Structure 1
Amino acid sequence: MFLAYRGLSLLLLAPAMALLAVLAAEGGPVLASYTQIFMQATGGFIIQYFPLFLLGAVFGKLMEASGSARVLADGIIRRLGPGKAILAVVLSCAVMTYGGVSLFVVAFAVWPIAAALFREADLPKVLIPATIALGAFTFTMTSLPGTPAIQNAIPMPYFGTTPFAAPGLGLITGALMLGFGWAWLEYRARALGPGYGTDPEDSAEEKDADSTPSLAVAALPLVLVLALNLAFTFVLIPAMDTGYLSQPEFGETDVGSVRGVWSIISALTLASLALVALNWRRLAEGMGETLEDGAQDSLKPIFNTASLVGFGAVIASLSAFGVIRDWVVTVGGDNPLISLAVGTSLLAGMTGSASGGMSIALSTLGETYLEMGQAAGVSPELLHRVTAVATGGLDALPHNGAVITLLTICGLTHREAYRDIAVVAVLIPILALVVLVTLGTLFGSF
């Protein structure tokens, strides 16, 4: 975390620190840990998610080049007023992530809109990562009932629950994250004072404004991403004949394991095509350069994030990790909610991944927690919601892949922008988790 904060390359830092941990904990085997664990996990992440990074970056670049981002920014400013620019970005991210759009895709798509909004409102650029993080990485990822985020889906098979587990508690914790996070960002904006700050890349966006799309045309691609993602997820893909997926050449899988990725790929592809068609006159001349820039923009974030996934896989393979995993069961005494919250949070923090930490916690201790909950009279729905919310705190430490990706997209460093990310995506979610465990202990699931 210290070296990532100091700005060292994650491509070098992640494998070096993972192998150092192997040497410190086991005395080896270093080469096997690198090629058979680190690289396997890194490559697996790239294989699974590169289309999302690529299409998300291209979509965001097309939104910027077509002038749609600027038009949306101006429209939001006119309707909410410059004083609500922070809230406008938070809600934009929240709507997209609650609709099932990947938080990585949201970061790519919203960044140019956020930059234009903050520039228009004369707010500090360094607050943009935290603003996007609040809308995309917190309450819509873990708290709101029904959210399609993977963090809300992983607990279901372990506890026999649905995405709408403990809806009242989820709404309360979500409101706490949104309210306190927004209040902090507004406070920081006043403390830092006016002034966006510039750099060559930002200045380059202030270009020809002789032809811009209407607000409806500018907003339609974002609406399409959300609507098409929902349509493919719940209607179109489930209606397909996908029995062939069980064959060896297709990985012997089922549609449930690929539906989310297929939906986002399809939605982003069609939305990007619609964006080009609607803005052909504005995009035609520099189309090749725009697509090339978008594709290039996807490479550093995907490899940085994948390297962190590989780091987490190596850490999870160490025997010392097993000792910590077994210890957390004893935390909290007779209250399994405390043990579940602490254990899931620690594992998410150690691996730098909300879904990764949750997967490890539930795959190794899910049945144990379910039995502890039944013995203590704690409903599976409450266990589900505590597990989901617990992943959304320590996971956003400086080595988290989504944090690295977001800072890379925004062109900022940990030193410049991480402080505010830590408040809205680490400290406030942990506070909300404490409230959730307290309310769940006193009143049960509701």
Structure 2
Amino acid sequence: MSSTAPTEADGHRAPEVSATVCVVGAGPCGAMLALLLVRAGIDVVLLEKNADFLRDFRGDTVQPTTIDVLDQLGIAERFHTLPHRKLAGISLVQNGIGVELADFTGLGLRFPYLAVVPQRDFLHLITAEAARYPGFRLLMRTEATGLLRRDGRAAGVRCRTRNGPLTVRSSLVVAADGRHSVLRRAAGLTPRSLGAPLYVAMFRLSRRATDPDEGLTLRIGQGRTASLTNRTAYWQVSYETGRSGNAPSPGHDVERLRREIGGLVPFLADRTDEIRADTLRLVEVRQDRLRRWHGPGLLFIGDAAHAMSPVGGSGVNLAVQDAVAAANLLAGPLHTCRRTGRPLPRRFLAAVQRRRRLPAVLTQDFHRLLQRVGIPRALRGDQTLARPDGRAARRLLPLLRRLLSRVTGVGLRPEHVRIPLTARPADRQRSRPADDEGTGPSADRCPL
């Protein structure tokens, strides 16, 4: 990577950083892609707008196939030293009746469980491993504000830092900046909406020794639904507060919410006073996807390309699988680009979409089916999922369980790391990531 200082219109000299690839968004998708590329000898700048990875109510479930990717990278053992809880399945409790919705132990997996891990710890693991390799740079508190263009191609990213503007020039820009992607807007792309949003209230309630030993449970009853995740010291609760475009107000009626949670989850009724407006997070969850994930010098992956429903907790796994596929398909062409001095052909970016579009579409459609048919019918009382009536329904439940187990635990078209390790680790882990523009080691890059 190299740094120069171009002159801005006001006469001030703004700092500039360059690399072969600029990845925007240091979530699971962006961080994993950066790690895979630097292992393959591609220099990468990874941008993260926040000052740290400490953010509540993010995807904390790591699926078996994601753990398998970590194993392929040689860091699964370190992953398992992080504070975590293993979940062998997902349960449903409807009107007090329990049933197993998903069981990962019968899928023939090396890691037959979901691991509930704070996302900040997961991201620290990935970025610390990436920092061992030359050519990697993580810039915190660096917010992408727009795209640089040259000769009709994306040529980098304009950023805002605490010290002022920053320019990152790159041959390839990868937007992994989530469902509210800034770069998507900057590129003039609008995703196709897949229905009305779902509004979810997220909060914590303390966990006591007398509580049920549940891991991840969906609770349905009284026309309402909530998911509970056992975080050892507390319960993380996601409670549906509205759908079909009826958005609750930011000051959602806390007293009403306390009553509803106490009725739906009786063993939590004695501590609902812990729900407070200042600790309650109201989230609008939309499913959408781009028709085209790429442009010249620009690629969208993860939620920036296909925003997922929280149903099934598949978002982290799909994001990681996108990253693995992108690295597999792009590492070789990026090396060729650097060797020949030619821009990266767009067909390689199109290949990433061809590889990952079907798993994304099928997973979204499966989630939509559950949200439109299965859960609403159960909420209306038309169907008791926990104790189905009729021979056909009883036969269908095992099939549904196997399907949920496969979609949730494995995903559709799981990816494997296929690019060789070509960079030599320098064992240069930083005590903390860079949080200003700074400069990094020099590296070659393709022409812009």
With normalisation by structure 2, the TM-score equals: 0.26
Computing the radius of gyration from Cα coordinates, the structure with the larger value is 2
With normalisation by structure 1, the TM-score equals: 0.26
Query: Comparing both structures, which one devotes a greater share of its residues to helix?
Result: 1
